[in-house]
Amino acid sequence: MSLKNLIFIGLATLNITFSLAQSSKTNADFWNNVRFGGSIGLGFTNNGFNGSIAPSAIYQFNEQFASGASLSFNYAKFDEDKLLAYGGSVLSLYNPIPQIQLSAEFEQLRINRTIATQTIDIEDNYWVPAFFIGAGYSNSNVTLGLRYDLLYDDNKSIYGNALMPFVRVYF
């Protein structure tokens, strides 16, 4: 799947979310279906660590489908290299049954990277996309699961590897 296709899917999801939100009968009906929360994530490798927090808001279309947007803040350390990242994402959640949650999320992060060498530290700043698919066990407000980054790049990603556990909470 190309980057253009992934961007198109993310923008289409966001467009559908806002289009359907505009069709609410009243403003109160819209806000009754908005849920706030987010996720936290931890990743570990042999010589590294990644931690993330992502506050978000979703619109609950029905008992099975929700979509929304999220902000992301990440920190990672691999050997002597340090990375700080921030950005945003659009996400869609689908519950085929109440206990199972499937998810898709397109994330765009700005990476501020410091590479330590024996003589100097090298600064490297760039943008990197991630496209996660995930599955988890849900008990109404809390979902525990795993997600996989289809665009994972070992040289640029802030994540320790493509597979990452998550905890997602919405109220």
Give the model confidence (pLDDT) of 115-141 as tens digits: 877 788 888 899 999 999 999 999 989
Pick from 41, 70, 7: nearest CA to 148: 41
Instruction: With beta carbons less than 8 A apart as the criterion, state whether 134 and 91 touch.
Output: no
pLDDT in tens, 1-55: 566 666 667 666 656 655 555 554 566 788 999 999 988 878 788 888 888 899 9
- Domain 3-170: assigned CATH number: 2.40.160.20
Which sequence spans correspond to the domains of the chain? 3-170
pTM of the full structure: 0.76
Distance from C-alpha of 144 to C-alpha of 149, rounded to nearest angstrom: 17
Q: Give the pLDDT band (50/70/90) at residue 67.
A: very high
